[in-house]
Structures are given as structure tokens and as C-alpha cells.
Structure 1
Amino acid sequence: MAMVLNEEAGMLKDAAKGFLTGSAPVSQLRKLRDEKNEDGFDRKTWSAMAEMGWTSVLVPEDFGGVEMGYVAAGVIAEEMGRTLTASPYLSTAIMGATAFSRFGTDAQKSEWLPRIAAGDAITAIAVDESGKHAPSKVATTAERSGNGFKLNGRKTFVAEGHVADMLIVSARTAGSETEAEGITLFLVPRDAAGVSVERSDMVDSRNSARVTLDNVEVTADAVLGEVDGGLKTLEGVLDAGRAGLSAEMSGSAQQCLETTASYLKERKQFGAIIGTFQALQHRAAHLYSEVELGKSVVLKALQTLDAAPDHAAILVCAAKAKMGQVAQLATQEALQMHGGIGMTDEYDVGFFMKRVRVAEALYGDANFQADKFARMRNY
């Protein structure tokens, strides 16, 4: 499989770049932050994305989608990373669409996939319960009640949780708190009785929420996947999100490199353009090499998700681990080479650094992914 974008993906990349540069630049995120926007993203921009088909790239044609695949979804996420576009794209168009299209029942697909494709519904994944990502550590319980279940527990760092129409919640239906078996995924409407959602102000000015479930009753039809066997389903959804985040961080890293390279060609120190200093040239060259390596592994992970999703986990681990490290390096080098002014609010470098820190940690940081990779390879 060629490690390059095909013509269709290339055209999508150009279109996404043109739209986001003009309609959702970093200044939009700055405005959302300063105005303390209740949604945390621009609804008009989100509607425009849906009209262009971005929310339907992973939705099958039978349900109103364009079914372009994960490489196409990654291309869009990468361009969003360049402009730090705030939107429910990751939680809904990538993770939500993956959850329903790969693991949903016919009824669940018919109800939710057309709404996702049209941009009319927002979904959120409620998985973590502590400060560290641990999808198999689930204390939230789901006890059988009548023809359904009753859920109790708390979730944290739920991306887009406070604006979601539907929460996809992991809960324990059997076993102890740390067992892999006994986890089940449930579809829980955000406005269901007993659901309490509190928005969290994140350092990257993006959306996250704490979700509390207090005797929340759902029917058996709310189960996504298999009862007691939900971890495999959850990991499939998370891998789609991890690949999307890797693509987003790749875009952010590329933008930081380009912005810094331009700055090196303009800034003067000691009467000379600082880009002529050999030490800075070496650092820029090293960063370029790392960014290119990261781009390659991200593209390979996305291609594998398209060709063989059940065998993509190990490459997704590699992509998330590598790109998380590269993106952090890119923001750190951008800050260092801009000097102290780089961290002032006047410049965008600080916004990239904050977003990359959050994206790197979300759904498992580099250490988590490296450990998972090693376990999968039986190290």
C-alpha cells in the first residue's frame, strides 16, 4: 500500500485547508475562549462542515453517508490540527460514527447514523474515571433492572460531553473493577433522568465534562455491542479516536514547524537573520525529520483502519505514541525558537502547545500507548 494520499484524498485535503483557513482559523478559538462561549465551538462552522460532507465520511452510504474511510477522516482532522478548529468532529464524526457503523444494531444504525451524517446529532464517549486513561478500569455499575439496566457512577474528561445528545458510557455488568471482562457499553441520552453533566474548563480552551449517573435507567436496546464483552467494542471506538487525534497532532506539528521556519527567516539577532545560525538549522532539520516520520506512521494507521480494522490496534498505538512525542517536540521547539515572546497571548504558539498537551493525553498518552504496544508484541 502506497504511503501517499490518493487523488481523492488530496483534493479533500486542499478543500479542507481552504475552508478552515478562511472560516475557522486560530483566531476563532481565541474568540470562543475570550467570549466564554457556552458550546465551546461555533455552530455555524459545524453546520458548514456537515454540508460539505465531513460529518459523513465514516457513515455508510445506506445511512446517508459518503463512506470515504479513515484516511479521509484523518485528512480533515490533520487540517483541523493546523488551525486548532474546535468542533465535535472527533467525538461524533469519527468515534460516534465508528461506534454505530461497526458495532450498532440495525435499529441503532438507522436512528443515529443519518443524524450524524447530517450534523444533527453530537455523541460523546464516557470512558475514563480518573486522571489517567484506563479503559479496562471501570467502577461505574450497570445492574439489571426489569427489562433493562440501572447505571450508577462517574466519568471524567468526557470530550464534548456537555453538548452531546447521546453519551456512550462504559459500565461494569460483571467482574471486579479492573477485569477486562464484564464491561458493557450503553447508549445514554444526556437529558435522561439521573444524568448530571458539568462542563470542565480545559487548558486548551476546548470542551470536556464530568458526568454523574445516579440510578439512570436504560432498556436492553441501549446496549452497544455485547453484554459483558464491551471492552473489545470500546477499544475499536477508542482506536478510531486515537488515530484521529494522531492526525490532528500531525497537523499541529506541521503548522508549528512551518510557522517557526518562517520566523527564523525574518527575526534578526546580533545583526543577522537567526535562521542562518547553524545550531537553529540543526534543530529545525531534526524537527522536520521527526514530523515526516510521524506523518508516515499516522497515515499507515489510518490506511490499516480502512483495510483491516480488527488488526489496526498495534499501528494506532505506534501512531499515537510517536505523534504525541513529535507534536510536543514541535510546540516546544516553536516556543524556544520564538523566544519568550512565543508564549505571550499575542502569538499562537501557546495555543498549539496547550492543545497538543491535552490531545497527547486524551485516550492514552505516549507511555500508555508504548506499554500497550509492548504487551501486544509480548515483550
Structure 2
Amino acid sequence: MDIQFTEEQELLRSSVQRLLRDRYDFDARRKIVASEEGHSRERWQAFAELGLLGAPFSEEVGGLGGGPLSTMIIMQEFGRHLVVEPFVETVVVAGGLIEQIGSDAQKQAFIPEIVAGAKLWALAWTEKGSRFDLANVTTTAKRDGDDFVLTGEKTAVLAAPWSDHLIVSARTSGHRHDRGGLSLFVVDRRAANLDLQSFRTIDGRRAAEIGLRGVRGQLLGREGEGVVALEACRDRAIGALCAEAVGAIGELNAATLEYSKTRKQFGATIGSFQVLQHRMVDMFIAHQEALSLMQHLAVSLGGGEASVSRLASGAKSKIGYAGKFVADQAVQLHGGMGMTDELNVGHYFKRISSINIQFGDPAFHLLRYAQLDAAA
């Protein structure tokens, strides 16, 4: 598939490229990651001023109406520059859920703050032993007046240390693994009885272990229908993560090709060795296949196709394996320096490794694809 972008989409892409080229080079990114906070509020505000944080939202809620294609364009460029700011967590995941199932009052209260860059969000859905199962939840929520009181634990919640609000999955009825009875709640990250233990991830970002001991939350969407909402959210998140991975894969290929033209071994550049040329051709093919899948998924998400979940799992698996292959080859062809902190190759390797386990690893989605294909 080869998408022909509209004039507005080309303008968006060139604007993102120019901003990141001027303000988010590799050295700037390393300083951001090494800072105490671990991300840049200044860059986040620049994203807001450029309209990136509102691009995927519909015009009815104050966005630009760009949908999944604008997300794809933005995330592909973010992948090329290893952007650490929580665009997926805040805009695609949390913002998407609010737009999808939130009440009119919640949309009016929360989405403008996201678009303006004033608030950051994170989704707390993973628990110990859940193994990518959206319904595998033991955290409970009991009604108390207009709100609910949440008790339980969430693990590896990405961007939680940066966030102002969390969307938390909890059981209002049913048992662990039941598709019914799971609900979603908006929780203030600084709420009483919420314990957050922050840690750094392998790709330089921040995540947290979260304990809820009677924390008050506001119901998001209809009670007991959280799994369906999370499944649609996962498809959108996969589309964004696949675009980021494709951006990173492209940069790894470019860096490896350039290195092969300058690094000499046995008196000749390593790019002149036929066996290494074959490897780089395989890397190029993997990138092109991933690029086509990414575009197909983005178009399908925008069109609301019934088979989009199957396509999302297929893309997550195929692009995940492609990313691992290219990252492995890039590190090996760069030799020992491939994993040094000073070279960007190792940072792309770590980011691709992290993307591969977000919302399900390639093996999980290969099995899910087969199951959905058999059920079709």
C-alpha cells in the first residue's frame, strides 16, 4: 500500500519534521532523558502550539479531525527522533477513550486540556500475571455516592509519574477474566490513598507501580463495559506504536547503510562485502513490508472496518518481528559500539524492544490473529 497524502497531511508531516529537526536532535533527547523529570514540558507545549495534540481528535470535541492518519504521520516522525513525551499515552490512549466513551461533560472538561498541553494522562490496566489480557483484573471498585472507591494494584503503568490523571480499569462485578463487569475510572494521580513508585524503563522513559487503597474515582463510560472500550483503544494504540516502530526501523537502516560506507575492514569498506549487502537488502525489505502494513492499518482504523482488530494484531506481530530483526542486524553490523550510549543505534534497539511488549508482544498477537482469523 502507498498512501497519497493530502496537502494538509503533507503540511503536518513537514511541520513535525522541521520542529523535531530544530528542537529534538539526538543530543537534546539525551539531555531530556537524563533530566530529573525525564521529559520536556517545553517540547510538549511546542507540540501543542503546533496542533499535534489536537490533530487526531474530531472537530466536534475541539480537535483538527485528522484521525488515525494524522496519528500515523506524527508517530512515524516521533519514532525517527526517539521522542519520549507521552503522546500515545495521553492523546491516543486516554484522549481516545474519553472521546470514545466519555460523557459530554467529561469531553468538555478533559479534552481541551489535553489539546492545550495542560494535562498529561496515563492508562493503568496491567496487573501482575495479567499477560496482556485486558479482562484479567482483580482491582475492585465499589460505588460510594456519585463516585466509586477503588482498591487494588496496577503494574508497569507507562508515563504514570508524569501524569496528572489516570484511567484505571477495575471490577464493579464478576470475577477475574470475565469480559463483563469491568469498568473504567478517571482518577487524580495525586489522590489520597494512591501510592506511586516510579522507575526508569530500559528505553529511558518512566513508569510506575501503583497501589490503590480506597481511592476515589469517576466512572468513564458505561459500568461493566470496559473491555469493549479497551479493545478499541488497544487497536488505536497499536496503530500508533506500529508507526513509531516503522520510523525507528527506517532510521536504523539509514544509520547502518551510512556506517557501512565508512567503516573499513581488511582494507575495504564493509558495505562492499556481498554477505553484508544481502543483510542490508533484507533489512530494507523488512522496513518496506512494515511500512505497507502500517499504512494499511491506519487507513482501516480511519474507515472503521469490522476486521480492524485482526489487522491490528497482524501488524503488531509482523512489524514487531521486523523491528527486532532490523535492530539485531543494525547492532551487529555496528559491532561493539552498537550498544554504546553515545551512538543512537542502541537507543533505537531499546525503544523497539519496549514497543514490542506494549499492548501485547508479537507472539501474543500472532496467536490472537490466528484466533480471530478462524472465527471470521
Q: TM-score, normalised by structure 2?
A: 0.95
Partner of 1:361: 357
Matches within 5 A, 1:286-305: 286-305=282-301
Partner of 1:166: 165
Matches within 5 A, 1:211-290: 211-218=210-217, 222-290=218-286
How far is 1:126 from its partner?
Answer: 0.4
Q: Which runs of 5+ in 1 are unaligned?
A: none
CA displacement, residues 30-73 of structure 1 (integer Å, 9 cap, x when unaligned): 213333x22x2111111000000000012222332211111111
2:295 and 2:222 map into 1 onto residues whose CA distance is: 31
Partner of 2:330: 334
1:310 and 1:147 map into 2 onto residues whose CA distance is: 35
How far is 1:139 from its partner?
Answer: 0.8
Report if aligned partners of 1:58, 1:97 keep a CA contact under 8 Å in 2. no
CA displacement, residues 157-210 of structure 1 (integer Å, 9 cap, x when unaligned): 211111211101111111111111111111111122221222111111112111
Partner of 2:114: 116
For structure 1, which segment, 341-350 or 308-317, has the greater mean C-alpha deviation from structure 2 after superposition? Answer: 308-317
Matches within 5 A, 1:1-379: 3-35=3-35, 37-38=36-37, 40-130=38-128, 132-218=131-217, 222-308=218-304, 311-378=307-374
1:310 and 1:107 map into 2 onto residues whose CA distance is: 29
Give the 3 Å change call, closer, same or farther, for CA 229–34 of structure 1 in structure 2.
closer
Secondary structure, counterpart of 1:188 in structure 2:
strand
How far is 1:128 from its partner?
Answer: 0.3
- Give 2:149's aligned amino acid: K
1:81 and 1:200 map into 2 onto residues whose CA distance is: 22
1:6 and 1:261 map into 2 onto residues whose CA distance is: 31
Identity %: 33
- Give 2:247's aligned amino acid: G
Report if aligned partners of 1:152, 1:216 keep a CA contact under 8 Å in 2. yes
Report if aligned partners of 1:201, 1:207 keep a CA contact under 8 Å in 2. yes
Secondary structure, counterpart of 2:135 in structure 1:
coil
How far is 1:371 from its partner?
Answer: 1.6
1:365 and 1:180 map into 2 onto residues whose CA distance is: 21
1:2 and 1:144 map into 2 onto residues whose CA distance is: 50
Secondary structure, counterpart of 1:176 in structure 2:
coil
Secondary structure, counterpart of 1:149 in structure 2:
strand
For structure 1, which segment, 128-137 or 347-356, has the greater mean C-alpha deviation from structure 2 after superposition? Answer: 128-137
1:119 and 1:311 map into 2 onto residues whose CA distance is: 33
CA displacement, residues 299-319 of structure 1 (integer Å, 9 cap, x when unaligned): 111111111166421111112
CA displacement, residues 65-87 of structure 1 (integer Å, 9 cap, x when unaligned): 21111111111111111110110
Moved over 6 A (4+): none
1:377 and 1:12 map into 2 onto residues whose CA distance is: 35
2:327 and 2:371 map into 1 onto residues whose CA distance is: 30
Secondary structure, counterpart of 1:157 in structure 2:
strand
1:233 and 1:360 map into 2 onto residues whose CA distance is: 22
- Give 1:188's aligned amino acid: V
How far is 1:253 from its partner?
Answer: 0.5
Secondary structure, counterpart of 1:158 in structure 2:
strand
Q: TM-score, normalised by structure 1?
A: 0.95
- Give 1:177's aligned amino acid: R
1:148 and 1:351 map into 2 onto residues whose CA distance is: 43
